[in-house]
Chain A
Amino acid sequence: MIGFLLRRLGWTVLILIGVSVLVFLLMQLVPGDPVRTMLGMAATGERVEEVRHQLGLDRSLPIQYLDYVAGVLHGELGQSLVLSQPVSSILFPKLLNTVILSAGSLLICLLVGIPLGVLAGARQYSLFDRGSMFLSLAGASVPVYWAALVIVSIFALQLGWFPTSGMYDTRNPGGLADVLHHLVLPAAAAAVVPTAVIARMARGTMVEALQGDHVRMLRASGVPERSVIWRHALRGIMPPVVNIVGLQVGYLLGGIIFVEVVFNWPGLGGQLYTSITAGDMPLIQSGVLFIALVFVLVNLITDVSVALLDPRTRKAA
């Protein structure tokens, strides 16, 4: 198990280094001068050069990259070109907000997706099975952006149960209750597709598990059906379900950028968008690195959980 962990951690570090080089190079390939954007249309060539020099943007690319890496290794993510503030002080709060939204969403996925799939699988071809699978097919096919707009129009505008967007009340920003009230709709919107996929996956593996010899054995021994499903069969389907949940977290993070835009949730997605439109390289680099880090960590956690649940997979890694 320890060897497995070390190998996976080694890969994680290599992937992050690769991502940092890639992002740095991509930013250089993108046309557009951040200083020009900052100073606007009236800026003269001379003034643009002056500010470029001040920000160190007139140095050679390898020097700029090494400087950036040296900073990262010292825990310094650098300064935003436009905002003149430390990147960490801007990105950490945003990352936290994205994690809150993702966690809320994941909770919905797990609490709805797995039980739905398990019950549908246990009652194969019943009305419940057909109904829930039809809904999940629809859910899995819905564009996130559209789902978000429909959810806003029904639950915020027509019913007025929840606010349309944001993380806090505009006029009287409050505490935890205020955040939770604002969290429901975006978390639900982001959860639509992954919940549907998880439910379908859980149903499929459940159907398969219930046809297994050990289930027949349990049933023959008179073990109550409820216990067969929730104690024995469920345990067997956990590794593939955890795997798909891990994959769906990746999907969730991708979809959350759209959800953040529609619901104006102040997360990493919106910040990256703003930074990209301003060409604020230090912010973009670190933002993308954060997302890559979260992705890689989620994969790591998924692999470790599967390895814990199913010893056979440990050797494969």
Chain B
Amino acid sequence: MVLSRSCSRRTSAFRRSGARALAVVFALSVLAACGGPGNAASGDAGPPRSGGTLAIGIESEVDILDPQRAGGWVSWRVNRQIFEPLVDEDLSVPSGQAAVPPLRPGLAESWEISPDGKVYTFHIRPNVKFHDGTPLDAAAVEFNVRRMWDKSFEFYDAKAAGQTTFVWQHLESVTTPDRMTVRFTMTQAFEPFLRLLPQGGSGSTGIISPTAVRTYGNDNVAEHPVGTGPFKFVDRVRGQRITLERNDDYWGDKPYLDRVVFRPLPDPSARVAALRANEVDMIAVPPPDSVESLQQAGFQISEGAPPHVWYLSFNMADPTLGNKLVRQAINLAIDRQGLATNLLRDTVKPAYDVQAPANAAYVENTAAYGYDPDKAKQLLAQAGYPDGFETTMMTSVDGSGQIIPVPMAEYIQQDLAKVGIRIKLDTTEWISYLTKWAQGTPSGVGWAQQSWGMTTPYWLYIATSSTLQAPNGPNVGRYSNPELDKVMAQAMAATSEADAAGLWKQANRIVTDDAAIAPIVNDKAPYVLSPKVRDFVSASEEWYDLNRVWLS
């Protein structure tokens, strides 16, 4: 067996000990230095081959296999293989080739939008069958939409509605003019609608077989997931595995893989060990320290540019942070490149806009977000704080997409100390933090940290609209700018994507000029793959497709 090789690099791994307990470092470095499946296979592996089981070590347990109710990226990465939305994103294009994944037809073959932007007519793809053999038609789509939106519907589901609020918020009616056509009428033009359909971090609009919902009920359908996607559900043993198999009747590109097994491995060192021992073929979220040694051992690293921003929301009600000059100074006092390289070993990129690069409205702005401590000091003096001030930063100790929030906050603490801003850290574990964060920044707290983002610029509305101030919405700094609200309203009502992007860029600039948010870094979402995994693509999303992946 390949893994029983002696471990010759053990001593070199010792040098990376750092501040951790010696014992743990020893054990980890033994893990890091041994094993591995040899050198990366040479580039030419011939044409794609069918067959095999792809085992994926995922970073946490999936919550539920109900795409409309499920929360979190981890769940959507599984649900996405089983369920599909009307409009989809093309994830076969890597981030390097498309900063924003292009939209492509999903379960809707084509669609028309009325000139006033209020009526969306979708033509449902013919001859598509759910995994239970029932046909996909307009009635099935309507059934799903009503489950997420129509309180009077028999199968209305408050959890699904809670997750997908923003998608359906302007929906006035849904009708089915014929068997294969669905028409949505909105109360107002809503340009982000198409981009919201394929989103999946918090709920999704993946279409479930109505027969399955009727048979098992809203609660139990997650135990019997039936969609239209390239993979079918086989079994789930909580804490151990979720098994999917190829859908041979899939309407699109049929997968090469026979099966996919998602195996939750929440402990990072257990994930690395399972990969090295060939128990899984790829892992998500490798510990940053392990990436280099895994690469040397012949594993492939796949990185993308998902729409992720690790950012700070300033407390606008705070007497000090209410001052724009102070907020601008903070933005200039943080060394984002240093944070990305020194602390996170380039597993992230410095963030230079309030939106992530995977977004049509991205405008790189190094003047506002570059590192310039001298100018920061000037601005502070101008604002009346020549000797700086003291405040508190709220962040979590863990959590989805948060990377390593406490060391990152400490890095920011050091940078700010250099310009005289002394911050105390207020850290909370993830679940409590989420609740606390959603209540809005309390008095005495200068800013709260979060990680988020979407491929639609509409995300900015969710984070900064004056109508969504906490605790009613996620604008936790309670930022309110009528000019911004006006521009965002125009962007949402725009009737072309290009017009909308122009207006959203304008909105980004307003938020940047106001320094309402301090974007810090964008994650690269690295995956580590065994050399036999072929054609895995990291597109600009937090999730991936598997129907083009094959095993050599």
Chain A interface (Cβ within 8 Å of chain B)? Answer: 30-48, 50-51, 54, 79, 82-85, 90, 93-94, 97, 143, 145-146, 149-150, 152-154, 156-160, 163-171, 173, 261-264, 266-267, 270-271, 273-274, 276-279
With contacts A262-B270, A264-B265 taken as known, whether A38 is within 8 angstroms of B161 at the C-beta atoms is no
Interchain residue pairs A-B with the least CB separation, the first 7:
A266-B239, A149-B27, A32-B432, A40-B202, A84-B219, A47-B162, A153-B30
**With A and B bound together, what is the CA distance between A154 and B162 in angstroms?**
48
Q: Smallest distance from the beta carbon of B224 to chain A beta carbons, Å?
A: 12
List 10 additional contacts besides A84-B64, A165-B270, A262-B269; criterion CB under 8 Å. A31-B428, A32-B431, A37-B71, A47-B158, A84-B220, A85-B220, A149-B27, A150-B30, A165-B273, A264-B267
Which of B34, B266, B280 is the one whose CB lies under 8 Å from A270?
Answer: B266
B165 near A43: Cβ-Cβ < 8 Å: yes
With contacts A42-B462, A170-B280 taken as known, whether A50 is within 8 angstroms of B162 at the C-beta atoms is yes
A46 near B472: Cβ-Cβ < 8 Å: yes
Q: Which residues of B contact A273 (CB under 8 A)?
A: 266
Q: Which residues of A contact B72 (CB under 8 A)?
A: 40
Q: Which residues of B contact A42 (CB under 8 A)?
A: 165-166, 202, 462, 474
Of the A-B pairs whose beta carbons lie under 8 Å apart in the complex, a sample of 16, sorted by A's number, is A32-B432, A32-B433, A34-B431, A37-B430, A38-B162, A39-B162, A42-B165, A44-B165, A44-B472, A47-B158, A50-B161, A146-B26, A153-B31, A164-B279, A264-B270, A276-B431
With contacts A37-B435, A44-B472 taken as known, whether A271 is within 8 angstroms of B238 at the C-beta atoms is yes
Which of A45, A160, A165 is the one whose CB lies under 8 Å from B3?
Answer: A160
Q: For window 393-420 of chain B, which residues contact chain A by CB distance below 8 Å?
A: none
A54 near B158: Cβ-Cβ < 8 Å: yes
Complex: chain A residue closest to B436, CB-CB: A31
Q: Smallest distance from the beta carbon of A268 to chain B beta carbons, Å?
A: 10
Complex: chain A residue closest to B264, CB-CB: A264
Q: Smallest distance from the beta carbon of B345 to chain A beta carbons, Å?
A: 22
**With A and B bound together, what is the CA distance between A54 and B161 in angstroms?**
12
Complex: chain A residue closest to B221, CB-CB: A84
Which of A32, A34, A85, A157 is the one whose CB lies under 8 Å from B277?
Answer: A157
Q: Smallest distance from the beta carbon of A55 to chain B beta carbons, Å?
A: 9
Q: Smallest distance from the beta carbon of A256 to chain B beta carbons, Å?
A: 14
Q: Smallest distance from the beta carbon of A30 to chain B beta carbons, Å?
A: 7
Q: Which residues of B contact A270 (CB under 8 A)?
A: 239, 266
A153 near B34: Cβ-Cβ < 8 Å: yes
B64 near A37: Cβ-Cβ < 8 Å: no
**With A and B bound together, what is the CA distance between A90 and B63 in angstroms?**
12
Q: For window 173-231 of chain B, which residues contact chain A by CB distance below 8 Å?
A: 201-203, 218-220, 222-223
Q: Smallest distance from the beta carbon of B160 to chain A beta carbons, Å?
A: 10
With contacts A168-B240, A274-B61 taken as known, whether A264 is within 8 angstroms of B28 at the C-beta atoms is no
A164 near B240: Cβ-Cβ < 8 Å: no
Q: Which residues of B contact A46 (CB under 8 A)?
A: 472
B202 near A164: Cβ-Cβ < 8 Å: no
B452 near A264: Cβ-Cβ < 8 Å: no
Q: Which residues of A contact B202 (CB under 8 A)?
A: 39-43
B163 close to A (CB within 8 Å): yes
**With A and B bound together, what is the CA distance between A40 and B67 in angstroms?**
14
With contacts A158-B6, A160-B3, A165-B274 taken as known, whether A171 is within 8 angstroms of B432 at the C-beta atoms is no
B31 near A45: Cβ-Cβ < 8 Å: no
**With A and B bound together, what is the CA distance between A271 and B63 in angstroms?**
12
User: How many A-B residue pairs lie within 8 Å, measured between CB atoms?
Assistant: 213
With contacts A32-B431, A158-B34 taken as known, whether A51 is within 8 angstroms of B159 at the C-beta atoms is yes
**With A and B bound together, what is the CA distance between A204 and B161 in angstroms?**
65
B241 close to A (CB within 8 Å): yes
B34 near A171: Cβ-Cβ < 8 Å: no
Complex: chain A residue closest to B3, CB-CB: A160
Q: Which residues of A contact B7 (CB under 8 A)?
A: 158
Q: Smallest distance from the beta carbon of B511 to chain A beta carbons, Å?
A: 18
**With A and B bound together, what is the CA distance between A165 and B433 in angstroms?**
31
Q: Smallest distance from the beta carbon of A46 to chain B beta carbons, Å?
A: 7
**With A and B bound together, what is the CA distance between A195 and B34 in angstroms?**
29
Q: Which residues of B contact A41 (CB under 8 A)?
A: 202, 434, 437-438, 450, 452, 474
B55 close to A (CB within 8 Å): yes
Q: Smallest distance from the beta carbon of A35 to chain B beta carbons, Å?
A: 8
With contacts A32-B435, A36-B434 taken as known, whether A45 is within 8 angstroms of B64 at the C-beta atoms is no
B442 close to A (CB within 8 Å): no
B60 close to A (CB within 8 Å): yes
With contacts A42-B166, A51-B159, A262-B269 taken as known, whether A166 is within 8 angstroms of B468 at the C-beta atoms is no
**With A and B bound together, what is the CA distance between A50 and B151 in angstroms?**
11
Which of A34, A44, A93, A143 is the one whose CB lies under 8 Å from B468?
Answer: A44
Q: Which residues of B contact A146 (CB under 8 A)?
A: 23-24, 26-27
A30 near B438: Cβ-Cβ < 8 Å: no
**With A and B bound together, what is the CA distance between A146 and B23 in angstroms?**
7
B269 near A149: Cβ-Cβ < 8 Å: yes
**With A and B bound together, what is the CA distance between A173 and B269 in angstroms?**
22
Q: Smallest distance from the beta carbon of A23 to chain B beta carbons, Å?
A: 17
B308 close to A (CB within 8 Å): no
Q: Which residues of B contact A82 (CB under 8 A)?
A: 63-64
A40 near B201: Cβ-Cβ < 8 Å: yes
Complex: chain A residue closest to B163, CB-CB: A39
B31 near A85: Cβ-Cβ < 8 Å: no
B85 close to A (CB within 8 Å): no
Q: Which residues of B contact A97 (CB under 8 A)?
A: 239
A90 near B432: Cβ-Cβ < 8 Å: no
B161 near A47: Cβ-Cβ < 8 Å: yes
**With A and B bound together, what is the CA distance between A175 and B212 in angstroms?**
31
Q: For window 70-115 of chain B, which residues contact chain A by CB distance below 8 Å?
A: 71-72
A264 near B266: Cβ-Cβ < 8 Å: yes
Which of A34, A35, A48, A262 is the one whose CB lies under 8 Å from B267?
Answer: A262
Q: Which residues of B contact A279 (CB under 8 A)?
A: 431
